Amino acid sequence: MSGFVEGPEEAEDDPFYEGEPPEEQGEGFDLEPDEHPSNRFLGREFLAWIWYRVDRDFGRIELPTFGAVDFWVDDRLVMRGRGEDPQTASFKGGAPSSTEEARAALRAGKVPEEARLGLRLADREYTLSLRGETLDVSGLKVPQTVKKGDVEPMVYDRMFLFEEAMAVVGAIYGRFLEDRLDPRWEASILPRVRAWMAGQGEPPPRSRSGEAEIGDREGGV
């Protein structure tokens, strides 16, 4: 099954080399990089898919259990080229994925290597860094929902918020795998993503609720 960017199957250093993703995703977000060969590229595809969905769906997705979740590329995006000596480019500041410089890097063949992401669930907002190569999450910041000074409630609250954030990331990753394993991937979904990456087409119009506009549901992601 082809990835977002065409490349020879023997090019194992290609983050989007052609390969099969795992058929099942376990509970939570605890994949180990060495569990499956596809994990060498799936993390980078996941970051590119997040960027695509932010453009396509205004950064909103409906998830089981959680309902509507907003997500976005927050204030840092690192992109990586391919080959034996890949170059990297770092973009910082508000909404770096929307800058012309980042889009030019995408068109030139660079792929997301790491991103600082924002998540909003109800009135709770989180930020975290996600590394594509390893799917490692770091720098997680959770909202303060308990008054300072109440130590024990604060500890339990932070534990809950940490688990919630990781569960949401895992659910978004699960949705990515659903798209990746969809029978329409090769014929319908992948060409749209590749055209978007090459700057040759805009994502189909979506409503602000994250649902496809009429006429788009049957043919796309």
Tokens matching residue 181: 């394993």
pLDDT of residue 31: 45
pLDDT of residue 4: 64
Confidence of residue 126 (pLDDT cuts 50, 70, 90): very high
What is the C-alpha to C-alpha distance for residues 56 and 99, in angstroms, rounded to an integer? 16
Computed over its alpha carbons, how large is the radius of gyration of the chain? 18
Does the pLDDT at position 182 exceed 90?
yes
What is the C-alpha to C-alpha distance for residues 110 and 51, in angstroms, rounded to an integer? 13
Does the pLDDT at position 33 exceed 80?
no
pLDDT of residue 62: 94
Does the pLDDT at position 1 exceed 90?
no
pLDDT (average), residues 122-127: 95
Confidence of residue 123 (pLDDT cuts 50, 70, 90): very high
Q: Which of the 8 DSSP states describes residue 36? A: S
Task: Give the angle subtended at the CA of 157 by the CAs of 152 and 162, to the nearest 5°.
Answer: 130
Task: Give the angle subtended at the CA of 46 by the CAs of 121 and 51, to the nearest 5°.
Answer: 65
Confidence of residue 2 (pLDDT cuts 50, 70, 90): low
More confident residue, 72 or 15: 72
Q: Measured in Å, how far apart are the chain's first and last C-alpha atoms?
A: 16
φ, ψ (nearest 5 deg) of residue 127 = -130, 145
Does the pLDDT at position 192 exceed 60?
yes
pLDDT of residue 148: 73
Tokens matching residue 170: 């895992």
pLDDT (average), residues 14-28: 44
Tokens matching residue 212: 């496809």
pLDDT of residue 210: 42
Residue ranges per structural domain of the chain: 39-197
Task: Give the angle subtended at the CA of 23 by the CAs of 21 and 24, to the nearest 5°.
Answer: 120
Q: Which of 121, 172, 117, 171 is nearest to 145 (CA)?
A: 121
Amino acid at 14: D
Which three-class secondary structure state does DSSP give residue 29? coil
What is the C-alpha to C-alpha distance for residues 216 and 208, in angstroms, rounded to an integer? 14
pLDDT (average), residues 47-68: 92
pLDDT (average), residues 110-127: 95
What is the C-alpha to C-alpha distance for residues 58 and 35, in angstroms, rounded to an integer? 33
Mean pLDDT of the chain: 79
More confident residue, 157 or 221: 157
* Residue in the block written with tokens 């898919």: 49
